[in-house]
Structure 1
Amino acid sequence: MDASTPKPVRMPKAILFDLDGTLIDSAPDITAAVNELLAGSNLPPLAVPQVTKMIGGGVRKLVERAFAASGTSLTPAALEQAHRDMRPIYLRHLTGLTRLLPGAREAIAHFHGNRIPMAVATNKPQVAARTILLYFGLLERLGALVGGDAVTNPKPAPDMLFFALEKLGVAPADALMVGDSISDVKSARAAGMPVALIRGGYTETPVEELGADLVCDTLHDLPAALQRLPTAA
């Protein structure tokens, strides 16, 4: 079966969740961090919709996109310095404006209650993701957390998915990736696992066009959608 071909979906033995745009709406906090960084270079602030389009790919890519949107092309050395400057700023803007997306808490509680191992696999830095998940009381229900700096190659590479599944002790074909973007689809396909997408995340392309195996309006709908599937052997 081609890696881009939708796979048969069964009730998973484990679930991996993306974070930004899937479990949380972090765009306002990320925008605040971006604008603090830009202000240090006397650049004007960006609006939340502008920054939302930049999310995905990790903090370095976010910094590069933000300066590009401000009309500034950074040399590799300047980008590295801006990335270093961004680290403490980013960590100051994690929970002030961030909110759980609809159904996130309920879905995590449902799968935890049904003893389905879960992990978060996110390009967000590990310490930032941990802080957010602790703040919302979700970390204790997860079997693993893999951030973008915990692996050499973040999403859309499959590395963090393999790492998370190794921690959970579940094979890729028996698990499900749940995300909101093409990066989640590509990483899942590269890992050889099915993928579900949730509408309302950080993608400009309609989720129906991204080649997912399952699409849900919100995380409220995910448990019922999975309960209608056959059980993994």
Structure 2
Amino acid sequence: MTVSGIRPPKAILFDLDGTLIDSAPDITAAVNELLAIYGLPPLSLPQVTAMIGRGVRVLIDEAFAASGMALDGAALDKAERVMAPIYLRHLTGRTRLMPGASEAIAELHAEGIAMAVVTNKPERAAREVLSHFGLVERMGAVVGGDAVSRKKPAPDGLFMALERLGHRAIDTVMVGDSGTDVTAARAAGMPVVLVRGGYTRVPLEELGADLVCDSLHDLPHALNALNLA
């Protein structure tokens, strides 16, 4: 239902990791498999969780740095190539939907709101995860970090998703879990809603979002109260 005098969004762009899915256990498994190849000890789930959100290359760089092995450009390129098949083996084994994700997407779809996923995760991986959980058919677009020249916090992926959906930034809301999503949304000229329970290292209230939701269960109602006028 629409709140009187309030114009809800026509489209929503979702972040993936930490927003729609809790993928940290799978990503940790992939990182530790990579580190083991280099003879390095495993990192903990909290350590890896703090590294998620800025793309696989940054994840690898930070994981090796935390293990005491800084990588130069060529070595990082090689580690990224080694990581690619490992990453694809750890997509859905331990990953779970965030609370309320399936219900919120079903409700928003029923309301006729266009939806897309904009993630720094490789697009093939993102589509596989969304397909596994039965969500890919609800998305009018899936934009991975490898589909654009600049990942979030740059707005490139958001602009690509808007083009594919056929909607304007002024009618669209970004839903994420971190400052990366806030920065990208602001650069794209759209409001942003953050959901608790993700991977941010900074309290959500300090990130400057338009709204903060306790969970995705609250998202449809919160969006109806978001004034885009």
Per the shorter chain, which TM-score range? over 0.9
2:172 pairs with one of 168, 171, 175: 175
In the alignment, what sits opposite 2:210? 213
SS for the counterpart of 1:130 is: helix
**Is 1:141 equivalent to 2:141 in the alignment?**
no
1:56 Cα deviation (Å)? Answer: 1.3
Aligned residue for 2:175, secondary structure, equals strand
Indicate if the aligned counterparts of 1:10 and 1:226 stay in contact, CA closer than 8 A.
no
Change (3 A) 1:196 1:77: same
- Matches of 1:208 and 1:130, distance apart in 2: 31
* Partner Cα distance (1:228, 1:50) in 2: 36
In percent, how many aligned pairs have the same letter? 70
1:43 aligns with one of 36, 40, 43: 40
Match of 1:150 in 2: 147
Following TM superposition, the consecutive aligned residue runs of length 4 or more in structure 1 with deviations greater than 4 angstroms are none
Alignment TM-score, normalising by the size of structure 1: 0.94
Counterpart for residue 121 of structure 2:
124
Is structure 2 residue 104 aligned with structure 1 residue 110?
no
Residue aligning to 2:63: 66
> How is 1:79-98 mapped onto 2 (pairs within 5 angstroms)?
79-98=76-95
Q: Secondary structure at the match of 1:157?
A: coil
CA distance in 2, matches of 1:214, 1:117: 20
CA RMSD of aligned residues (A): 1.1
| Alignment correspondent of 2:3 | none
| Matching residue's letter, 1:124 | K
Q: Which residue of 2 aligns with 1:5?
A: none
CA shift, 1:227, in A, is: 2.1
Unpaired runs of 5+ in structure 1? 1-8
Rounded to whole Å, the distance in 1 between the matches of 2:20 and 2:125 is: 14
For the residues of structure 2 that align with 1:227 and 1:118, how far apart are their CA atoms? 15
Distance in 2 separating the partners of 1:25 and 1:123? 15
